[in-house]
Amino acid sequence: MKRTPEPYLWLLFSGGGVVAAFLLPVLVLLFGVLMPLGVVDWPTAEHLRALLGHVLVRVALLAVVVLCLFHAAHRIRFTSEELLGIARFDLVIAVICYGAAIAGGVVAAIIVF
């Protein structure tokens, strides 16, 4: 029986879907609507520096970014295969999509840490 990484990729996809569904709308509401309208005050640079000074906040921020990237990679992979009818190139598409997600995660880790 051949083992595939597919269950782990689906796990990252579902984790990213949960993060995207619960956290991203709140962030868009805060930073895209409420703060520009003046309903909520913008955080000061000192407050943000203090917040990002804690290692758990950095790890959580990195987890949100990485999970969202893998969720997007999985959606792009299967949507492009179905819509464009290029399922025969599954391995190439998977390497490109998940490779881009890994590269994005590395860039995010460099920026956060």
CA angle 15, 17, 19 (to 5 degrees): 70
Q: Would the pLDDT of 33 be above 90?
A: yes
Q: pLDDT tier at 5 (50, 70, 90 boundaries)?
A: confident
- Give me the mean pLDDT over the 24-42 stretch: 94
Q: In this predicted structure, what is the pLDDT of residue 1? A: 81
Q: pLDDT tier at 53 (50, 70, 90 boundaries)?
A: very high
Name the token pair of 24.
């991203």
What whole-number distance in Å separates Cα of residue 30 and Cα of residue 66? 21
Q: Is the pTM of this model over 0.85?
A: no
Burial (0-12, 13-18, 19+ Cβ within 10 Å), 25: exposed
Each domain of the chain, given as residue ranges in start order, spans 7-16+43-112
pLDDT digits (tens, 9 = 90+) for 40-51: 999 999 999 999
pLDDT digits (tens, 9 = 90+) for 83-108: 888 889 999 999 999 999 999 999 99
